[in-house]
Structure 1
Amino acid sequence: MGRIRVTQIFPWLLPLRRRQRIFCFYEKMRRDGNRYAKAKLDRALPYEVFSSTCPLYNAETGFDMRYQQNKVFNLKLAAARLEGVAIGPGETFSFWQLVRHADSVTPYKSALTELDGRLQTARGGGLCQLSNLLFWLFLHTPLTIVERHGHAKKDFPEPPSDAPLGVDATVYEGWLDLKVRNETAHAYQIALSFSAAEITGSVRCDAAPEVEIRVRNGNLSYCQRKDGIWEEVDVVRDCVERETGKVLVSRVLYRNRCRIGYPLPDGVPVLPDGRRSHA
């Protein structure tokens, strides 16, 4: 039998434990020696490195659509803290350092989130769509990924996106952050905007990119395990010469693994052990 946490015996301790964890979370960052990006520029940097647009609403969650509306409300609160932020040379970007007080004036609403392995509603839910988008943008830059956590489970099908499988970054204040460090000589800037149905994010730079970065999948497989079907896929980054299209460097960044919580489309092979794969 697994170890029983004190908060499982005394659930009323959970809010206190969370406040303690969040305090230590930020105190550790205050003392870690990193210089965290905070400054917003009053103008856009001249060169767009990469841009992506994705739908705001997902009708496949199985929950009332009001939680999707609440998610969009939360995303806009958080995005207001990120829009225009520049990551200068030597600086580190932290999602939570910037979004920490996004709801200090206007509170977040209740939206979908995964807690303790279960999909449920909670205040401030849905912010992972923003961290997912930022991670996708950052992968197209030379910025160094310092901290990223993939979702352990996909609870419902994702809406159409230009991002390949396995490109996500879950965040949970006090526990999980998204961090990148700028080890280049150039500044990078985050830009975010909303239409009625979509969110658009872009990353800009003060110098024209020397190469084009493309991100793709490799070695995709689905395998049946005791606890369900698991998806495993490589996330690969290609550095491409802009003039010729020649691939200069190709590297597997990581292999992403997550459990699938919904029926796969007909015809998708599910293997008993995952030793084989299909692209």
Structure 2
Amino acid sequence: MTTVHGLEPLELPARLTAPPRLTQRHPWLLPAAMAAHRARRRTQWVRDAWSGRVAWAKRHEDRDLPVRLKQHGSLLLRELDPDQMHLQHNKVTNLRLAASRMDGLVIAPGETFSFNRVVGNCTRRKGYVDGMKLSNGEAEAGVGGGICQLANLVHWMVLHSPLTVVERSEHSFDPFPDTGRVLPWGVGCSIVYNYVDLVVRNDTDHPFQLRTWLGERYLHGQMRTDVRPEHSWRVEARGEQFLRREGQVYRRNQIWRRVVDRRTGDQVGDELVKSNCALVVYEPGPDVEVIDLD
């Protein structure tokens, strides 16, 4: 660990310091490894169903629950490398299919939501096409690529609700500059069917409903419920830093959630959601301060 200029020590997550995985050294093993991961997750789902330990949310309701708790729109197309724009346009096709599977889902009290169980496996047979996927910090073509944007949207809305995040995997890399960024860096999700998932549980006495649809320029989402909660939530990034060590740039921050009493406007809680640290795979622009730790 290194401390400089009064900064907290930079301690890299194990996933960034571990030796290359076997599948990274021998990529031909990746399909078998993925099949094993998927089999374990399917076994877990079957075990949960037989035991009754988990009640999975699967009911959809066309009629809106009366209270709109959170709404957000996510830009569909970003200006990236012109050679990759066809993957951006294909992503829109994939998001339209995935959002239609998500739209109207009700998470009743005691139920658990799984992104992978609701959206399912994104295959060509279902109409999914090659979109942009991230693998080891690089953008590449893959069937169903881009649906992480829907998971990001859902996670952002969940953070503005009393629902409990049970499982969420973030990206190990910061792949793109912040051009046009609206949400804080570090609130996104990584999705790989079926073992890298976004899982959320409803520990309240009220149902919550997800509405998701595509407009001309944005992926839209709403979180709805039947009674407005007594609290509201404000999510923000703190301690944003770019640090260079041994020739590599890392980005880190913390995501915090302030809990506010709706009636008085007073802050009644301050929750650390996640500490993030990722390898930056682009060269930060001149307007980004990079602190050298060497």
Confirm or deny a common fold (TM above 0.5).
Answer: yes
- Paired residues for 1:1-279 under 5 Å: 5=22, 11=28, 14-32=30-48, 33-61=53-81, 63-101=83-121, 103=123, 105-158=125-178, 160-226=180-246, 228-273=248-293
Q: Among the aligned pairs, what percent are the same residue?
A: 30
What is the Cα deviation at residue 21 of structure 1? 2.8
Distance 1:45 1:61 in 2: 41
Whether the aligned pair in 2 keeps the contact of 1:213 and 1:238 (CA below 8 Å) is yes
C-alpha deviations, 1:87-122, integer Å up to 9, x for none? 111111100011115647533111111224432111
Aligned equivalents of 1:120 and 1:101: distance in 2? Answer: 18
Q: TM-score, with normalisation over the residues of structure 1?
A: 0.89
Give the Cα separation in 1 of the matches to 2:166 and 2:123.
26
User: How far apart, CA to CA, are the structure 2 residues paired with 1:92 and 1:225?
Assistant: 41
Over 3 Å counting, the alpha-carbon distance change for 1:78 and 1:227 in structure 2 is farther
Q: Which moved more, 1:96-105 or 1:241-250?
A: 96-105
Change (3 A) 1:162 1:116: closer
Do 1:54 and 1:160's aligned partners in 2 also have CA atoms closer than 8 Å? no
Is the Cα contact below 8 Å between 2:121 and 2:194 reproduced in 1? no
User: CA distance change for structure 1 residues 85 and 153 in 2, over 3 Å: closer, same or farther?
Assistant: same
Q: Is the 8 A contact 1:224 1:273 kept in 2?
A: yes
Give the letter aligned to residue 117 of structure 2.
Q
**In 1, Cα distance between equivalents of 2:26 and 2:122:** 33
Structure 2: stretches of 5+ with no match in the other structure: 1-17
**Alignment CA distance shift 1:119-1:6 (3 Å):** closer
Normalised TM-score (structure 2): 0.85
Partner AA of 2:43 in structure 1: E
Taking the aligned partners of 2:180 and 2:137, their CA distance within structure 1 comes to 24
- Give the number of aligned pairs: 273
